Amino acid sequence: MLKSEQNEFITRTGPDTPMGNLFRCYWIPALLASELSEPDCPPVRVKILSERLLAFRDSEGRLGLIDEFCAHRGVSLWFGRNEECGLRCPYHGWKYDVNGQCVDVPSEAVESGYARKIKLKSYPLVERGGILWTYMGPADRQPELPEFEFAIVPDSQRFVSKRLQETNWLQAMEGGIDSSHSSWLHRGDFGHDPLLKGAGGNKYNFNDLAPVFEVVESPGGLFIGARRKAENDNYYWRITPWVMPSYTAVPPRGDHPMHGHFWIPIDDENCWVWSYDYHPSRDLTHAERQAMTDGLGIHVKYIPGSFMPLANKHNNYMMDRVAQREGRYFSGIEGVAMQDASLQESMGAICDRTKENLVGTDNGIIMARHRLMRAAKQLAEKGTLPPGVDPQHQRIRSAALLLPKDAPFQDGAKEALVAVLGQPQVTV
Amino acid sequence: MLKSEQNEFITRTGPDTPMGNLFRCYWIPALLASELSEPDCPPVRVKILSERLLAFRDSEGRLGLIDEFCAHRGVSLWFGRNEECGLRCPYHGWKYDVNGQCVDVPSEAVESGYARKIKLKSYPLVERGGILWTYMGPADRQPELPEFEFAIVPDSQRFVSKRLQETNWLQAMEGGIDSSHSSWLHRGDFGHDPLLKGAGGNKYNFNDLAPVFEVVESPGGLFIGARRKAENDNYYWRITPWVMPSYTAVPPRGDHPMHGHFWIPIDDENCWVWSYDYHPSRDLTHAERQAMTDGLGIHVKYIPGSFMPLANKHNNYMMDRVAQREGRYFSGIEGVAMQDASLQESMGAICDRTKENLVGTDNGIIMARHRLMRAAKQLAEKGTLPPGVDPQHQRIRSAALLLPKDAPFQDGAKEALVAVLGQPQVTV
Amino acid sequence: MLKSEQNEFITRTGPDTPMGNLFRCYWIPALLASELSEPDCPPVRVKILSERLLAFRDSEGRLGLIDEFCAHRGVSLWFGRNEECGLRCPYHGWKYDVNGQCVDVPSEAVESGYARKIKLKSYPLVERGGILWTYMGPADRQPELPEFEFAIVPDSQRFVSKRLQETNWLQAMEGGIDSSHSSWLHRGDFGHDPLLKGAGGNKYNFNDLAPVFEVVESPGGLFIGARRKAENDNYYWRITPWVMPSYTAVPPRGDHPMHGHFWIPIDDENCWVWSYDYHPSRDLTHAERQAMTDGLGIHVKYIPGSFMPLANKHNNYMMDRVAQREGRYFSGIEGVAMQDASLQESMGAICDRTKENLVGTDNGIIMARHRLMRAAKQLAEKGTLPPGVDPQHQRIRSAALLLPKDAPFQDGAKEALVAVLGQPQVTV
């Protein structure tokens, strides 16, 4: 449970908010690389952290993320012509380069130097792992590029998608680091989703519905361990790493690709849910890639031409009471992603954390909140760089393994939780 | 005309408002019984008096009306599984019974007694007369069940429907107790609606467009008498009873079934218009029931799968200017119910009563407002139980009859206005 | 750039605002005459200057613009019956004439004189030039009828349309008096729109993309001159008159009909863009009229049955990136009107003028703002009648002509800028 002012503090990420400043310490996903696929392609409107921006790729292939609106009279540059190394406003022809620098004001004499004095807000935009990442903080604190494993394996080993969720980022992320709900909400899917079923570990999920949680701090965030009863003197451990501010990795299931999420605030009442799948030691198969494209696993089916899920709050997520009664989908909603999204959106745009009743299985959530608030305060008060900025903090993995009952998971799984390029995941 | 603060006082019915507390003294309609037709059927979201609730029927057929949101992390229990005498939240499996008592928190040891400490807000829900009624006030003041005649006649004699209206409850109700408008707005319908036409009394409505109103207090509310000129030394009286807080009965027309309404606030800008038809001394005919189902009389045609009228503000209520010009529908809108709804919604969500110009025919409205405000104040100040709670106050009827000019209607119609089970209505 | 309080001052036009009072000094367009085409036709809801009104034509053909809502209980008279020289409320039969005077309250005895005491707010409504004009100010200051040339030429020489724009009126008007953008935004259209192409002057537009602006005050507003390089020792001048509060005339192109606009606030976040075309000395051809009906030139295609453009913000104005790349439409949007509307709506409902960077070509906008604010202040402080009320101020024209380099345009074009009925425009 949070106090009302804590709930405000932790959910607001616009300019000049403490949590907004925290997010502005990191490289964060802004667009899919496929959204800006070639030089001079159409620009794309991007709203992140409550800022309205425009992404484009210029004639030389350079990427830019600039203020959406022309400095002259404020029209949207989305209507602009992307040509000859710049985006030209269609109203009066003012032209900007990928850094937001105005390079032409046709009505003013070149000698006046007027254009040079005009510069739009801009942020760096770099491609890595099928994603265009941006960094929206002060230039002198720009960190090294992200090194999450999924982003640096070869493209043939990875699939990335994003979807719109109409809630604050935090309740989306809290759902993601709370693995205890999978035994309930997603139980039907482990039996039939081709990207989830058949793993040896699934039986432990079904057999023990009261997992015990142990959470420890990692340099970049947390390791959230959930143990369930297994044969002999073992526990079945599923370990979910969380890296600040909002990256997580779901524990693997057999040889299925590993997956996880990033949650990025659009504004305080909407967020992007980024979903990746990758296999650390082999290419994705054609069947796997097709299943992901079709919205299976943690991905979704879309309204064509958009990133809005086809099943959404306006159609009650295509609730199927027969499938619910028969146990195919525990909540009546199809697919892991929309099962999460439907419940999280049902909490309201910003869920009221003053009314919660948290229990032991919520320890990961509780510790993540505290770590976020602590880091945001230390950043505000002392300028302390928060955990998770250092790429070293990002070289982690999830794991699913059997350990003797008396072995602390952070020791027994120590090596399994380190990302080593090319090495297979540790999984049951 | 009301002062601005009076208009606020009388229209607001959320928790801890004086008028909201008044509504919370009564049994009020919450759902159609057909919405929860069998054990373990899907739960239904219900918003009443600005509270978001969930109604369900458990495996034993018991009814519950509980807080819509799980006590754990606030997801909507509408997504819940209704099974084994309780509703189980699909997120982490917390389970609630019809009283809102939590009966299972799977992650916590049963011995801990944790579940027992968790209880959602809940209200009683009882079936009577095709309606599920709730009482949302303090348990120690729960009154006896409602005894409105329509609700206690055999099912074969009754038809009930509800529709969504996008206005405050009060302006909907004020339209309902204002019988003077029927000579204008509904005049076309008396000629052709099979549930209204052909009554002997209709001619008086047409012949005298300036009825005189006399209003007297009844134990539970008001009797609103409208007299029109008739043959010899008689008046044609149409007497509309109103029972607090928002029940009314339209005066009968010949042997047609009698009908009336309940208006229940959803929130301050939306309400449910409940509409009932019943015959006190015979079964409804197949043709009558079919006509009601088809949206004739005081009922409506719906957007399929909803309680939203097919003709609504988004399509200008299917305004037909030709039918208006030719007199078939005086306002151009088809059907008594939508004629009322269209005008009431055109006043705005909460109509501004500081700008009215009321006349003699509005006396019923004026007295009902005063009685409501007086009762809400006495409840707030002295805890006085308001009129209309006592089932004795509910055993009334409307009537339509000829009386000698010198007979006060409350004397002449005294017996006609009492509901006596099985006895025919008094009607012309 | 304006200060925040100046932006408020100049954009708000509701009752009792300084700029609203300024607008209430003028005759302004309210409806197309075709919207009230015959006696007793359906009434039309009209919102202007944030007031909700109803326009109707009575049995004698008289026009009225009255409060939309009945004085009795506030229902919309749009549902009223228009018959026998008045509009009758369908609720209780109250009837109003075109002056808003209540002429019948059926429930009250005629002798009581009650109806006479009830009068709705009303404004005069007069037909001129295919438009119904209203004057919403104090009766004792009602000016003479408007004498804009387009409105007084024979009907056969004129075409008028209107469209809804979802912005404040001012940014729409600022786009209209800013002729510098046409070289950019509309450049594709000069080549192929049948109502614009082929004029001799178009080549100057294409050849000189840095026009120089000279703006001078006129009795009713401004003359905004834009000069571009031409052959020999000449300049090509395009002179746009602006008459307060929001009338403008686009400079002509060859023998094409002349056109221009009126911008009328609906409320502070929406406006009507009125568009007229007329030829001062000949009838419009059938082909011209057809092209205007089809949405060419400065007119638009509509969503059938509405004044909402078919291309609008909900469908990204039917953005065509191929047409943009190929240069057919510079912004990718089809048609001069929607090119303007799309950009103006992209600025937000009320554009933030504190963030602008204005340049020399914005001088017309700067001077128009100052003149508006000055006039509104003088009206508020001293009751000074503002420029543009006097019909003499309205008898102006735009012009496009070649002048020697050393001739001030206000001298060289002096006669060309005067509207003389029947005389051809001065154009290149």
Q: Are the beta carbons of B76 and A358 separated by less than 8 Å?
A: no
CB A396 within 8 A of CB A417: yes
Residue B43 to residue B66: CA distance in whole angstroms: 11
Percent with pLDDT over 90 in chain B: 93
Q: What is the pLDDT of residue A250?
A: 96
Mean pLDDT score across all residues of chain B: 96
Task: Count other Cβ atoms within 10 Å, centred on residue C164.
Answer: 18
Q: Kindly state the average pLDDT of the residues B303-310.
A: 97
Q: pLDDT exceeding 90 applies to what percent of chain C?
A: 93
Q: Once rounded to an integer, what is the mean pLDDT over residues C314-330?
A: 95
Instruction: Reduce the DSSP state of residue B236 to 3 states and report it.
Output: strand
Helix (H, G, I), strand (E, B) or coil at B31: strand
For residue C183, the model assigns a pLDDT of 85
Helix C169-176, helix C363-382: angle, nearest 10:
130
Q: What's the confidence (pLDDT) of residue B74? A: 97
Q: Measure CA of the first residue to CA of the last residue in chain C; give whole Å.
A: 35
Q: What is the pLDDT of residue B409?
A: 95
Would you tell me how many other CB atoms lie within 10 Å of the CB of residue B32? 17
Inter-chain residue contact A324 with B106, CB threshold 8 Å = no
Residue A260: CB atoms within 10 Å: 25
Q: Residue A31 has which token pair?
A: 């667009």
| pLDDT given at position C188 | 86
Nearest CB to A107: which of C333, C339, C361? C361
- H, E, C per residue of A222-246: EEEEEEEECCCCEEEEEEEEEECCC
What are the residues whose beta carbons fall under 8 Å from the beta carbon of A142, sequence distance 6 or more? Answer: A124, A135
pLDDT digits (tens, 9 = 90+) for B79-114: 999 999 999 999 999 999 999 999 999 999 899 999
- Residues of chain C with C-beta less than 8 angstroms from the C-beta of B325: 81
Contact C358 A73 (CB under 8 A): yes
CA dihedral defined by C107, C111, C114, C117, rounded to 10 degrees? 150
Nearest to B180 among C79, C81, C107 (CB): C107
Contacts of B347 in chain C (CB under 8 A): 69, 73-76
List the single residue in B with minimal CA-CA distance to C119. Answer: B357
pLDDT reported for residue B307: 98
Report the residue of chain B nearest A317, measured CA to CA: B79
Q: Along the 428 residues of chain A, how does pLDDT read in single tens digits?
A: 999 999 999 999 999 999 999 999 999 999 999 999 999 999 999 999 999 999 999 999 999 999 999 999 999 999 999 999 999 999 999 999 999 999 999 999 999 999 999 999 999 999 999 999 999 999 999 999 999 999 999 999 999 999 999 999 999 999 999 988 988 999 888 888 999 988 888 888 888 888 899 999 999 999 999 999 999 899 999 999 999 999 999 999 999 999 999 999 999 999 999 999 999 999 999 999 999 999 999 999 999 999 999 999 999 999 999 999 999 999 999 999 999 999 999 999 999 999 999 999 999 999 999 999 999 999 999 999 999 999 999 999 999 999 999 999 999 999 999 999 999 999 99
End-to-end CA distance of chain B: 35
Residue B67 has pLDDT above 90, yes or no: yes
Task: Identify whether the C-beta of residue A242 lies closer than 8 Å to the C-beta of residue A267.
Answer: no
What is the predicted pLDDT for the residue at C131? 98
Residue C206: pLDDT band with limits 50, 70, 90: confident
Lowest mean pLDDT among B66-75, C26-35, C206-215: C206-215
Length in residues, chain C: 428
Identify the pLDDT of residue C4: 98
- Residue B1 burial (10 A CB sphere; 0-12, 13-18, 19+): exposed
DSSP states of B62-87 as a string? -EEEEESB-TTT--BGGG-EE-SSSE
Q: Does the pLDDT value for residue B198 go beyond 90?
A: no
| C344-403 per-position pLDDT tens digit | 999 999 999 999 999 999 999 999 999 999 999 999 999 999 999 999 999 999 999 999
Q: Taking CB atoms and an 8 Å limit, are C356 and A78 in contact across chains?
A: no
Q: Quick one: average pLDDT of C236-258?
A: 96
pLDDT value for A189: 87
Q: What pLDDT, in 10s, does the model give residues C103-133?
A: 999 999 899 999 999 999 999 999 999 999 9
Question: What's phi and psi for C199, nearest 5 deg?
Answer: -70, 145
Q: Which value, to the nearest 10 degrees, does the dihedral of the CA atoms of residues C321, C322, C325, C326 take?
A: -150
Provide the pLDDT for residue C253.
94
d(CA B363, CA A295): 63
Token readout for C150 is 């387009």
Predicted pLDDT at B3 = 97
Q: Return the closest-CA partner of residue B239 out of B397, B369, B59, B17.
A: B397
Name the nearest CA neighbour of B176 among B248, B265, B241, B244. Answer: B248
Enumerate helices (H) and strands (E) in chain B, giving the number of each: 11, 19
Q: Residue B52 phi/psi, 5° resolution? A: -90, 115
| Apex A23 CA angle, A21 and A24, nearest 5 | 60
Contact C184 A73 (CB under 8 A): no
Give A73's contacts in chain C (Cβ within 8 Å).
174, 347, 351, 356, 358, 362
Q: Determine whether B38 is exposed, middle or buried from the number of CB atoms within 10 Å of its CB (0-12, 13-18, 19+).
A: exposed
Sign of the CA dihedral running B385, B389, B394, B395: negative
% of residues, chain B, pLDDT over 70: 100
At residue B297, the pLDDT reads 96
Residue among A289, A293, A290, A291 nearest A155 (CA): A289
| Long-range contacts of the stretch B409-413 (C-beta < 8 A, 24+) | B409/B214, B409/B223, B409/B225, B409/B227, B409/B237, B409/B239, B410/B216, B410/B223, B410/B225, B412/B237, B413/B225, B413/B237, B413/B239
- Asked whether B402 and B413 are in contact (CB, 8 A), the reply is no
* B206, pLDDT greater than 90: no
pLDDT at A404: 96
State the best of C165, C180, C212, C331 to mutate against chain A, taking most chain A CBs within 10 Å: C331
What's the confidence (pLDDT) of residue C162? 98
Q: Which one, of A224, A360, A184, lies nearest residue B112 by Cα?
A: A360
Average pLDDT over residues B242-269: 97
pLDDT at B63: 98
Q: Which of A210, A324, A332 sits opposite B107 (nearest CB)?
A: A210
Q: Convert the pLDDT of each residue in C33-83 to its tens digit.
A: 999 999 999 999 999 999 999 999 999 999 999 999 999 999 999 999 999
pLDDT of residue B411: 94
User: Average pLDDT, whole number, for chain C?
Assistant: 96
What's chain A's length in residues?
428
Pairing label, strands C234-243, C247-250: antiparallel
Decide: A145 and A126 in contact? Cβ < 8 Å.
yes
Number of H helices, E strands in chain A: 12, 19
Is the four-CA dihedral A173, A174, A175, A178 of positive or negative sign? positive
Q: What is the pLDDT of residue B207?
A: 84
| b/e A38-74 (16+ beta carbons within 10 angstroms → b) | eebebbbebebbbbebbbbbbeeeebbbbbbbbbbbb
pTM here is 0.95
pLDDT given for residue B289 in this prediction: 98
pLDDT in the model for residue C187: 87
